[in-house]
A and B are shown apart, each in its own frame.
Chain A
């Protein structure tokens, strides 16, 4: 996948990563991710990174690049299957950006905030959290 070619559609069995740069998006007691991490903003899209064709190291490196751009501490990532996203009547659109050809947007969110929260809660429940091996200590 390069910027010169049309990215392939996102398959149901693909994993998507949501990078966590805010410590309070992770519950301290059980290391699960809060729905706050999946609220789409700037609305209407939620940024994610496809795992497709990336090694784990490359995936962490992309997250670190986002953190460095802020700059912020890179805590970890929440991974979710595209099928789980579609189960919520959302869609995943490939949207390569500079420095991250695997970038994608989760689209189709309802306008109403509480409905967004409900979906975010269900996505969070299906998204295992992985700590950044570099900063996990």
Chain B
């Protein structure tokens, strides 16, 4: 986790960076963020997100050069890694962490997987688009959502349907 955080050190996310300018508001936001991080470090989500961050760092290392898949894949861009990091940061507390991967077009993927017929994959693009696809028994769902730092409700609903099976 240290490696991953070091790699993304120039970026600051979370409430502390977005809440209003007054000193009180900043203090409250900082305390909230500190508490949230402490909570992450002390429960299953924290451990899961830590693993996901390590996986993200690993993907960055393995997919940073052309043809990393042997079929002509494009490298994962720094912008994509930034968006992927923000995506992990946006996961609500209590949510199981996904496994991390990459696609030949250079997108980072996050997967919540219960079985081959109950699974959700979300691709993060450098342009902040989230492409998702899910298999839910005999039905399927797919679509695109813009990502502005908050997890789209459509994706939260699908995660819930996959993990509650």
Contacts and interface: CB of A to CB of B under 8 A. Distances in A.
Contacts of B69: 21-22, 25
Contacts of B113: 27, 29
Interface in A22-77: 22-25, 27-29, 32, 34-36, 39-43, 47, 66-67, 69-70, 72
A8 interface: no
A19 interface: yes
A41 B101 contact: no
Contacts of A66: 70-71
Interface residues of A, number: 35
A39 B103 contact: yes
A132 interface: no
A29 to B, nearest CB: 8
A36 B71 contact: no
A117 B55 contact: no
Interface in A96-122: 112-115, 117-118, 120-122
Interface of B: 55, 58-59, 62-63, 67-74, 99-105, 107, 109, 111, 113, 116-117, 119, 121, 123, 125, 131-135, 140-144
